[in-house]
Amino acid sequence: MYPHTKKAEHAINKTSSRSCPGKVFYLRNASNGNKIYLAKDSAFSKRSCRNEFGISEYEFSVLKLEKYKKRKSQGDRLYFGEISTLSKPKRKYQPSCYQMPLFRSYAHNCTICSQIKRSSAENPPRLPVKRKPFAMLEGAWGSTTCETQALGAFLTRYMNFHDASSTWEANFYYFLDPYCKKLNFMIYGKGVFFGGKRSTKVKGGVNYMFTLNEAKITPYDSATTQLLNTVRNNECGKYNSWKIGVEQSLKESKGCSIFGIKLPRKEFDLIMMDVNEHNQRELYVGQKASNGALAVSANLRATSYEVPLTECSSFDVELRTPLPKPTRATTKSNLGPFFPIFTPSPKKRKTTERRKDDPSKGTNGQETQKIIVKFHYNTSVTHTYSTVLIIILVLLATW
């Protein structure tokens, strides 16, 4: 163990004497003058000792390696199981979601990764100090990856805040697969937010309270639609009136019992804002409880964060909501008339057989072999695109 402050050194001695007596002892001084402590092999065999030092072995019980491709670069991300938000998790706790991902030390365009790679236990990385922006929620924020939450839910989030009226609205899209390809259902929420006081428990965090006054559900899967139609006594919209792709309000039923939605509702949350390496603002929202409980009081407020949302205005593309099925709708553009670009047909390939005793080969064998004979078009790709471009220019001139 390498403590780098007197406070950390005192914590090691206090924790080891209370939970691991005789298992952790002073070894030597580091090059920077700090002390180094050695833990015996049997030091963390006791569960209480592991918990006191913050070692949670269950985070290694669930791993996910996700590969991605962005423009001309590609890479991967490593996800570990979540750290339980419960003060005393079960002895055999099984994570149901992931922590924030880890990147390769040589990841493209990641200066922090390279700085951490060059560091050591005695000389930790000294990351650049930057002033965090205050949590001004105004604007639209969205997910940049498929996220997981407690109880194994896969989703993407889109939230919009209006500081002038202190109102918020959000679309939560839930999926059936961990790649967020098969849309299951969507929950729309709307309400009011209050707060803005800095947290005394989490440095850099800001305490907020959100109220949910309106909610709607849109099912996109047949099984989910059937499940909603089984809820009697109008406890989740109108009984037996749900249809695939049709949105229904939960105002009259005051929520939906099977999804744990109650109207109206208030929830205490933790917010933090940061700026990433690409100078894009990121919004961190408090992590949901591992047991799915809601933060209905200030003492249940989160002390950690979920995967950050990125400000939508940071991107040049327009955010489009996911669709349950592929669409063939024509593209709309405000840049003038739209001309479809025709591409030439692919090159034809024909397979023929020729004997090895062909006179041109000078062999006498009787075995046959297959060769590929390609027939090329007289009009090349470049010529075709040039012709289309000339037609477009002529039409633009006349238009």
Out of 71-75, 274-278, 315-319, 394-398, give the one with best mean pLDDT: 274-278
**For residue range 71-128, what is the model confidence (pLDDT) as tens digits?**
667 788 898 888 888 777 777 778 888 888 888 888 877 888 888 898 988 888 888 7
Look at residues 190, 292, 327 and name the one whose alpha carbon lies nearest to residue 247: 190
User: Predicted confidence band at 399 (pLDDT cuts at 50, 70, 90)?
Assistant: low
User: Predicted confidence band at 43 (pLDDT cuts at 50, 70, 90)?
Assistant: confident
Q: What percent of the chain has pLDDT over 70?
A: 76
Same domain, 186 and 295: yes
Out of 16-30, 72-86, 322-336, 352-366, give the one with best mean pLDDT: 16-30
Dist. CA 141–CA 306, nearest whole Å: 14
Of 77, 98, 119, the residue that ends a domain is: 98
Is 338 domain-assigned? no
**For residue range 354-366, what is the model confidence (pLDDT) as tens digits?**
444 444 444 444 4
Predicted pLDDT of residue 386: 46
Predicted pLDDT of residue 187: 95
Is 233 domain-assigned? yes
Same domain, 192 and 256: yes
Predicted pLDDT of residue 127: 82
Dist. CA 32–CA 357, nearest whole Å: 81
Is 368 domain-assigned? yes
Lowest pLDDT segment from 145-149, 212-216, 247-251, 323-327 = 323-327
Look at residues 264, 24, 319 and name the one whose alpha carbon lies nearest to residue 144: 319
Is 127 domain-assigned? no
Dist. CA 162–CA 137, nearest whole Å: 7
Over 70: is that where the pLDDT of 335 sits? no
State the total domains in the chain. Answer: 3
Same domain, 239 and 310: yes
Higher pLDDT, 130 or 113: 113
Token couple for 81 = 């199981």
Same domain, 191 and 42: no
Same domain, 47 and 148: no
Same domain, 90 and 162: no
User: Predicted confidence band at 323 (pLDDT cuts at 50, 70, 90)?
Assistant: low
Same domain, 287 and 216: yes
Dist. CA 160–CA 274, nearest whole Å: 17
Over 90: is that where the pLDDT of 227 sits? yes
Of 256, 291, 314, the residue that ends a domain is: 314
Is 123 domain-assigned? no
Is 381 domain-assigned? yes
**What one-character DSSP code corresponds to residue 31?**
T
Predicted pLDDT of residue 318: 55
Is 359 domain-assigned? yes
User: Predicted confidence band at 322 (pLDDT cuts at 50, 70, 90)?
Assistant: low
Q: What does the pLDDT average to over 137-148?
A: 90
Cβ of 230: how many Cβ atoms within 10 Å? 11
Beta strand spans in 225-383 (E):
248-249, 255-256, 261-262, 265-275, 281-285, 309-311, 348-355, 368-375
Over 70: is that where the pLDDT of 346 sits? no
The end-to-end CA distance of the chain, in Å, is: 75
| Alpha-helical regions (H) of the chain | 6-19, 47-52, 111-117, 222-229, 381-398
Dist. CA 35–CA 342, nearest whole Å: 71
Same domain, 375 and 288: no
Predicted pLDDT of residue 67: 83
Q: What does the pLDDT average to over 38-46?
A: 83
Lowest pLDDT segment from 12-16, 318-322, 342-346 = 342-346
Please tell me the total number of residues recorded for the chain in this structure. Answer: 399
> Residues 351-356: contacts with CB within 8 Å, 24+ apart?
none
pLDDT mean across residues, the chain: 78
Q: What does the pLDDT average to over 6-16?
A: 90
Same domain, 362 and 300: no
Predicted pLDDT of residue 145: 85
Specify the pairing of strand 309-311 against strand 73-80.
Answer: unpaired
Higher pLDDT, 249 or 152: 249
pTM: 0.71
Is the CB of residue 170 less than 8 Å from the CB of residue 189?
Answer: yes
Same domain, 261 and 393: no
Over 80: is that where the pLDDT of 15 sits? yes
Q: What does the pLDDT average to over 270-280?
A: 86
232 backbone dihedrals φ, ψ, rounded to 5°:
-90, 180
Over 70: is that where the pLDDT of 167 sits? yes
Is 114 domain-assigned? no
Look at residues 53, 68, 47, 56 and name the one whose alpha carbon lies nearest to residue 16: 53
Is the CB of residue 142 less than 8 Å from the CB of residue 319?
Answer: yes
Of 73, 98, 123, the residue that ends a domain is: 98
Beta bridge partners of 37: 26
To the nearest 10°, the Cα dihedral for 236, 240, 245, 251?
-30
Token couple for 91 = 């002895």
Predicted pLDDT of residue 321: 56
Dist. CA 375–CA 88, nearest whole Å: 72
Beta strand spans in the chain (E):
24-29, 35-39, 63-70, 73-80, 102-103, 139-142, 147-149, 153-162, 167-175, 183-198, 206-219, 248-249, 255-256, 261-262, 265-275, 281-285, 309-311, 348-355, 368-375
**For residue range 300-312, what is the model confidence (pLDDT) as tens digits?**
999 999 989 999 8
| 302-to-88, 192, 205 alpha-carbon distances in Å | 15, 19, 10
Higher pLDDT, 56 or 302: 302
Same domain, 148 and 197: yes
What is the span of the domain harbouring residue 21? 6-98
Three-state SS string over 152-164 comes to CEEEEEEEEEECC
CA 331 vs. chain centroid, Å, equals: 28
Look at residues 149, 157, 151, 148 and name the one whose alpha carbon lies nearest to residue 178: 148
User: Predicted confidence band at 395 (pLDDT cuts at 50, 70, 90)?
Assistant: low
Same domain, 90 and 143: no
**For residue range 179-226, what is the model confidence (pLDDT) as tens digits?**
899 999 999 999 999 988 899 999 889 999 999 999 999 999 999 999
